[in-house]
Amino acid sequence: MNHISVLKDEAISYLNVKPEGIYVDCTLGGGGHAEALLTRLKTGKLIAFDQDAYAVARAKERLRDHADKLVVVEANFTHLKITLERLSIDAVDGVLYDLGVSSFHFDDPSRGFSYNHDAPLDMRMDTREGVTARELVNTLDQRALKTIFYRYAEERFAGPIAKAIVTRRKTHPIETTFELVDVIKSALPMKVLSQKGHPAKRVFQALRIAVNDELNVFEKSLQQALECVRPEGRVVVISFHSLEDRIAKHVFREASTIDHPKGLVTMPEGDAPFELLTRKVVRPSEEEIEANPRASSAKLRAIKKR
């Protein structure tokens, strides 16, 4: 399955791409948004981040005709600021985040992201370092597992699933995706198992977020992005998860609001450093969702530096 970029036209529009501008794609992935950006650049540059070696190789091949305008950084986007400093770039005209997992991650059985393929429990975006899902499942205590499943996926049966995992691993370690799916199913009532949708979806989502520390690194990177854009520069975030959207909403609100103590009679002077471009989230059209069901949960937020 080919990865289809979500809200591509809307993202490019909110970035207000200048032909001579310098832009950052923090989530290169399949290269769809990057390609749309690059086709609008003439003398400008695009700095593109991705910590996944496979994604980098595929994107470089797709974007080979734009190699003179593209700098690919094989690293987590939490290194945004220091990377720009190393490239002697003091400010950029726009930063884009397209959060979530690219389709080809799920299509590669060896990565352990999908509950539809039997594979070792890994789920790391960067396979060179970090803790795997297997390690979390087999070492965290019951309370910690329950917290992950509920906090990152709002899994209603987080408690029973965590308990079932701890019980099963006493016999032998849970090594593969299908072994984990079996444990999850064993902890769920029949009425849930008979419902539409895969019963392991939420637990797999929660583990992926935990393995890659996705929420913390996103917030750190987003704060850096606000520091790195020049006046009139834009930051655009496309999220697929309520927790990611909540972070973007909070960070953007703080940046576009003057801190004025309650009870103070005088009005604040001047403007906030940033201006919200999206008072409400931008969602995909019905046509886009019909063509790409993955887009149904997407939300876009954008902000501009004054």
> In angstroms, rounded to a whole number, what is the distance separating the alpha carbons of residues 266 and 202?
49
> In angstroms, rounded to a whole number, what is the distance separating the alpha carbons of residues 119 and 108?
9
Residue 286 per-residue DSSP state: H
How many structural domains is the chain composed of?
A: 2
My answer on whether 253 and 293 are in the same domain is: yes
My answer on whether 35 and 184 are in the same domain is: no
Residue with tokens 């576009």: 256
Task: Fill in the amino acid letter for 118.
Answer: D
The answer to whether 95 touches 23, Cβ cutoff 8 Å, is: yes
Cα torsion 222, 226, 229, 230 to 10°: value is 180
Task: Fill in the amino acid letter for 257.
Answer: T
Q: How many CB atoms lie within 10 A of CB 90?
A: 10
Q: What separation in angstroms does the CA of 203 have from each of 112, 134, 149, 180, 213?
A: 13, 13, 6, 9, 15
Residue with tokens 């834009």: 234
The model's pTM is 0.92
Q: For residue range 20-50, what is the model confidence (pLDDT) as tens digits?
A: 999 999 999 999 999 999 999 999 999 999 9
Cβ neighbors of 88 (< 8 A, separation 6 or more) are none
Domain containing 179 equals 112-211
My answer on whether 118 and 206 are in the same domain is: yes
Low-confidence residues of the chain: pLDDT under 70: 1-3, 103-107, 260-269
My answer on whether 204 and 218 are in the same domain is: no
My answer on whether 202 and 186 are in the same domain is: yes
Side-by-side strand order, sheet with 92-98:
70-73, 45-49, 22-25, 92-98, 229-239, 299-305, 274-276
Task: Fill in the amino acid letter for 119.
Answer: A
- Domain boundary residue among 168, 189, 211? 211
How far out from the chain centre does Cα 152 lie? 13
Question: Within a domain: residue 94?
Answer: yes
pLDDT attached to residue 54 = 87
The answer to whether 87 touches 80, Cβ cutoff 8 Å, is: no
Nearest alpha-carbon partner for 282 in 239, 222, 225 = 239
The CATH number of the domain holding residue 249 is 3.40.50.150
Half-sphere exposure of residue 266, counting CA atoms within 13 Å on the CB side?
4
My answer on whether 189 and 222 are in the same domain is: no
| Degrees, nearest 5: CA angle 208-299-245 | 55
Question: Within a domain: residue 3?
Answer: no
pLDDT attached to residue 1 = 46
My answer on whether 16 and 91 are in the same domain is: yes
